[in-house]
A and B are shown apart, each in its own frame.
Chain A
């Protein structure tokens, strides 16, 4: 059996250029975690339902488990590892999650943080309804969402 063809993929992840050679079937989520060793992006359902693997593609939130790495060759990706400041200070969304107890086990948190980071850029002054709409595509099995909604509003406050 002939070897599976590999493709050169260049991505700028959290500001750093990465080059990998991967088969076309490599999902972006697996490329980030396995090929680039950026394990902050979590994979839950792996079919686009849970939102844990959400990353920013050129600034817009997308499910990394629903993208082929080869298909986003040349684009910029922001993962949860890229949200904090250069010296490690928490971003407003991360700080708000800490302030409001917006996480328990933490598995879903990377997807929430990336989704809300982009969501607050589009809606900087959200109502509670806006906050719920913003996170409606992300599942959390611990918190019951109340504290995550509070964290969205708190993050908006911290960003002002």
Chain B
């Protein structure tokens, strides 16, 4: 064809109809296979030719992987579940309110209509919200291959920038986001140049209170300040504190705990400042809600 409009380099393409077929195809391809789910990060990489996989395995027809299952212990999300589906799932929002709060910070609604939550975990962008949520909550990802599967804890899942523990021939089939214990709440705050952009810095926090409404534990996860989602236990700065306590110590501990890099969007110093300021906001919001 004349003026054939192409941006990505050529690749082979499979569109399996079932999970078993998907795993068989991936097993046959090994290192040459790349999974396409929502494609909201992958397709730009293809178009800019920053990625040139030999063979795309499109899982958009594997409808058995599109589900949100909420139980007392948490929320399970299938590999084909769009961000928007999880965001609008009322029972998921009840079991783990942090999911909806974080998803509203993920790009724009139009992107969330197509992008998948599990896909964003596997993409492992250190600026992305959902990897930080999984890490903060101590969730896990179920990873399948032809003839077997394994469950990878969040702490072992994010290996580096854009690198997850999913290996050649494997498919991340489900993410598990645990619910919170009683008298606990979680929040997510971030600063971006424009709403919907990647955050210059983002913080999600879980605060747990004891029966006297004193702080029992504080954990935070940081976006855009480390190569992988950085989880920090901030309890030592606030253990036993009441809700009206000063948050200066927790801010100082947060600032000491991060070692961000500078880039075109922000200096390291500014990111460090944001990590402290946003920690204060996130901890306060979570503590107030945990007491309610």
For residue A20, give the distance in angstroms from its CB to the closest CB of chain B: 11
Residues of chain B with a CB closer than 8 A to A12's CB: none
B3, B56, B113 pick with most chain A CB within 10 angstroms: B113
Asked if residues A68 and B9 are in contact (CB atoms below 8 Å), the reply is no
Q: Which among B35-43, B143-151, B152-160, B239-247 touches the partner chain?
A: B35-43
Residues of B within 8 A of A51 (CB): 108, 110
Q: In whole angstroms, how far apart are the Cα atoms of A4 and B4 in the complex? A: 12
Contact in complex: B36, A25 (CB < 8 Å): no
0/1 string, B21-62, CB within 8 A of A gives 1: 000000000000000100110011011100000001010100
Report the nearest A residue to B108, measured CB to CB.
A137
Given contacts A7-B13, A26-B6, contact A62 B108 (CB under 8 A): no
In this assembly, does B181 line the interface, its C-beta being within 8 Å of a C-beta of chain A? no
CB pair A25–B11 under 8 Å, yes or no, is yes
Asked whether A60 is an interface residue with its Cβ less than 8 Å from the other chain, the reply is: yes
Within 8 A of A (CB), among B155-195: 194-195
Contacts of A38 in B (CB 8 A): none
Please tell me if B12 contacts chain A, counting CB pairs below 8 Å: yes
Q: Which residues of B sit under 8 angstroms from A72, Cβ to Cβ?
A: 60
Binding site for A on B (CB under 8 A): 3-13, 15, 36, 39-40, 43-44, 46-48, 56, 58, 60, 84, 107-111, 113-114, 194-196
Could you tell me which A residues sit within 8 Å of B by CB distance? Answer: 4-5, 7, 23-27, 30, 33-34, 46-48, 51, 54, 57, 60-63, 65-68, 70-72, 115, 119, 134, 136-137
